[in-house]
Amino acid sequence: MVRMAGRIVLLALALGFPWSTTPCAAEPRGDAWIEANIDRAPGAPPPYQGEMVLVTVKGYYHDFRIGKEHLSTPSTASFDWVQLGRDSWTDAMVDGRKYTVVTRKLALFPRESGKLTIEPFLHHLTLIDGDGQWFTRDITSSPETLEVLPPPADPSRSWWLPARSITFSDVWDRDPATLKDNETATRTVTITALGANPQTLPPTPALRERWLITFTEPEQRTVQPTEAGPETTVTWIWRLRPITGEPGVIPEVRIPWFDTKDRVPKEIVLAAAPIGNQGFGGNTTAHWANHFEGGPLLTAVALAGLGLGLWLTLSGRSLRFEAPDPIGWGKDLRRNWSNRQALREALAAKDSARIHRAAWRLLADWKGEPPPAMTQAMVDLDRVLHARNNRHDGADANKAIRKAFLG
């Protein structure tokens, strides 16, 4: 044992291994060292807060038999970071000597502006000597400093999203302006950002209007490491249905971002979209005139009569007493009873699709804007019907439908 211990000591002294595991910086071009290099072109302007900074970490080891190792990235409050793939292990000749080289690529995102410090990287090694004995050594890099600028002042900017490039798509599964009765349009927006902090992509915009039922699916967000930086893809999906047949317009959505390659501000623009039922609208006087077959004179007489009726309505006057229409009222009553009965039967059968159809028929016959409880119950039922993982329990949605529509 004494001879074995002597050989370990001599080998450790020859290779310059310390006996403690206290981190220590190796001398460059020695037997082992680590470099942390900031990958920025000479003369490039300092990065802005939140802008991606690529860092390459390399560890060089000469004549090492490594049993186990762990290269730790320093935790710091000044940066977020994403590792860009697995560590690579290669051989390289440096000053005529063969080294084992481990390489790690990282994307750092400064959380604040000012002069920031990238703390040392620590490589914890478990080495094997010539006699098969295991011992440890820690190698650290030197700290690096980085000057970071605050985001450019822009009072109109509501979101700070620096990225190298951004692409997006805005797709409807059908024309939202020509929906059929009780038809739902699905809008899918996909944004892909290269070189952006995944946390800085905005949340799903709220597409809400009083006349529109909106079901927003949980957003899908993925991050794919690439050599040029993390590529983050976010997908937003809305299912939209007008409450009434009257057409409306979903306003445009503007998402500002900063192009770190061209150093200019840009915008993602989700265009405004008209949405409504196909059979509603286009009721202009010119449209009506085209459907008269009696010529211009009959058209003029008809439009004059329409104007007189409109004047009487707005002025509160009447040419005669109008009795209620018992036949039309009776038809509405029978249809309402039939739809309510269909809803009761669907609820008894616990058939979500039938419940949905019956509830929508009742909602379509509602005069004026339906109560919030009805629209919220329909949103909850839509969530059950469109759930991809089938984890939504329809019992609560059915109870809400029963209470809102049947009392």
Residue 181, C-beta contacts closer than 8 angstroms, at least 6 positions apart: 245, 277, 279, 364
Per the listing, tokens 């927006």 go with: 189
Cα 317 → chain centroid? 56
The rounded distance, in Å, linking the Cα atoms of 39 and 229 is 12
* Stretch 257-281: mean pLDDT: 87
CB 74 within 8 A of CB 143: no
| Confidence at residue 208, expressed as pLDDT on a 0 to 100 scale | 82
pLDDT averaged over every residue in the chain: 78
Nearest Cα neighbor of 109 from 47, 191, 56 is: 47
Question: For residue 59, what pLDDT band results from cuts at 50, 70 and 90?
Answer: very high
Which CATH number does 2-148 carry? 2.60.40
**DSSP 8-state class, residue 198:** G
Report pLDDT digits (tens) over 278-299.
655 433 223 323 333 344 443 3
The full DSSP string for 253-274 is: EEEEEEETTTTEEEEEEE--EE
Give the whole-angstrom CA distance, residue 292 versus residue 204.
48
* Contact present, 334 and 326 (Cβ < 8 Å): no
> Which pLDDT belongs to residue 311?
42
- Summarised one tens digit per residue, pLDDT across range 93-103 is 998 899 999 99
Q: Please give the pLDDT value at position 23.
A: 37
Spell out the residues 6+ positions from residue 42 whose beta carbon is closer than 8 angstroms to its own. none
Question: Residue 5: is its pLDDT beyond 90?
Answer: no
Q: What is the pLDDT of residue 359?
A: 82
pTM of the model: 0.63
CA gap 144, 163 in Å, rounded = 23
Which residues touch 250 (CB under 8 Å, ≥6 apart)? 176, 207, 209, 212, 240, 272, 273, 274, 275
Q: What are 117-172's pLDDT values in tens digits?
A: 999 999 999 999 888 889 999 999 999 999 999 998 776 667 799 999 999 999 99
